[in-house]
Chain A
Amino acid sequence: MADTLRGIGVSPGLAAGPAYRVAAPPRLGAPTPVADQDAELARAVGALATVAVDLTGRAAAAERRSVAAAEILRAQVLMVEDPALAEAVTDAVHSGTDAAHAIDAALAAFREAFEAAGGYLAERVADLDDLRDRAVAACLGRPMPGIPAPGHPFVLIAHDLAPADTAGLDPGDVLALLTVAGGPTSHTAILARALGLPAVVRCAGALDVPDGTVVTVDGGTGQVAIGVDEQTVADTRAAEQRRRQRVGRSTGPGRTADGHPVALLANVGSARDLPPGDDCEGVGLFRTELLYLDRTDAPGRDEQISAYAEVFAALPNRKVVVRTLDAGADKPLPFLGLPDEPNPALGVRGLRVAPQRPAVLRTQLEAIAKAARTAAAEVWVMAPMVSTAAEAAWFAAECRDAGLPVAGAMVEVPAAALRAGALLREVDFLSIGTNDLSQYTFAADRMCGELAELLDPWQPALLALVAACADAGQAAGKPVGVCGEAAADPALAVVLAGLGVTSLSMSARSIPAVRDALAAHTLADCRRLAHAALAADDAVAARAIVTG
């Protein structure tokens, strides 16, 4: 009988296969006395050889994905096989140092030389540190740090995953993600949905699962079974195949079982993110930051026009909601020349930048208007970080001056949600960014993993603010959408529809599962579940009402 663990399912789907853990870097304790120098040397040499074999395998696996990544790994192999390193380690062991400390000291000497050389070499210090962690882990009999590479598809288990951890991840090799920490808005959840991988977060005990244990993961219910038999693996894979076929079959606009429409839109950063084919009703969040990143001066009007026009041209007669530049102290852009702030999340960001740098917004709105005239897409514009009706009115006036007829405000600040009716007197629509709205409602930093529970989009307080916006929208007869990660959770999508949200925008991959969930409920079901979720004591209880 298999053991069962339970976490929060954040990306639907079933997976079965052997699990491997991402180990933390080994901790190097106090030096230990060496009784047998020959045995100690053999241990050190063996550790270096183990790392060389492991990295050689990784280089071969990386080859088909990225030649550059493979070259870095091969350079690391040359380093760990370096006769000068072996010599330094041998000398240290012969003078009485234990294997792990000998390797640490030998690499530290080269590290110093790299740092002194500066430039490119200083950047390679991270490669040396990685080698050190691996070799020390091998000496101490600890699991290799970093993303495992067992050479076959596997379930990845980690404490939590940061973007740096997953940069080298080959999605073709990963069956599912399973983390002990994190939450529904963590990087793990976002990545899993973008890649279409089942994922379970906040799964206590997951790191105790020995490497190679066969597990099943249900990214919908959050159930994880440990040590399952072959039959269960086969059944799980068959069930996942059926699920994929079912999800793959459904197409067309989002609607409930009784035909109430809920537009399913895509979040994109450029034309590259658009879903292939015709399977989306439009774009609910076109992030324009991509154009502005890593530049010393603002992108010119013409450059912007062509980038926007590319997206508009791909979506004739469909809605594209463009979010104006969302930058500021939290996402600094050099050309804005804004001063550092002690508390950037609460500082000059989003629309708050515009009064200080009016030309940046004006140029962007002109470029959007010009691009809109070249294509048949229905172009809407919205501003990030709106807090008051006055800000919304100012933005709407700027849009109309630029010749953009439909202007909206994002609701990311509780003040905006509480005054949704007043905002809707000034603008044509609202779009709720649930990630930031969670952060500001719970005074919980989005980047702080320990606060993931507060940032759970099922928190009844967050749902109450969404309900306030949706009610205001219904009263005004104006659309209110959701464009945060919450929209990508199929079970939560049902609740959002029941609260009266008129559109859901998410990464394109998440659309089919959300469409399925909506199609399985009538509007009356959605309303009943939404009402129950709003009345729940906490996020866990709210989720349980829908997922059972």
Chain B
Amino acid sequence: MPATTDEPLTAEHVFREHAPRIYHIARRMLNNDADAEDVTQDVLLQVIRKLDTFRGDSQLSTWLHRVTVNAALAFREKRANRQKHETANGDALEIAPTNGSVKRWNVEPDEPVLEAEQTAAIERAIGDLPGPFRDVYVLADVEGMPNSDIADMLGLSVPAVKSRLHRARLRMRDSLAPHFEGGIAP
């Protein structure tokens, strides 16, 4: 249960309530589980050491998003310096073609409930987005953050966020549409 503004924040509360979201934002932005773990540890250490400066959970939550995004971007830059050849090919990544092994989706358009393999297909498609598009996409469509907050966090204009989000959505649509079945066809 989230702490109220009157309740002092504890390290255990921060870990329990926020570590999963920190980890999954970092994992999707970095497309790497081990790197996400390092970022999560770094962010948790930062927040736990400053716990007494927060007035409540909502203030902490906003701050955590920003710190997580900054830590993930810094981590990616560090990784890029280590592995320049991999980054140079980042934008050339192609979304894996459907090979028939993925069962066609049959989800209700109004209330989609995703099965494990559908979730895995979405995660793969997110992971295949080039980094700058993936950042915006993860924060907007997965985390549901407002464009203005994303622009602020990533140092972009709101129109630039919208443009990247649109292009990322088109690429996600191209990747996932072959799996849609029935309901959405005209």
Decide whether A and B are members of one complex.
no
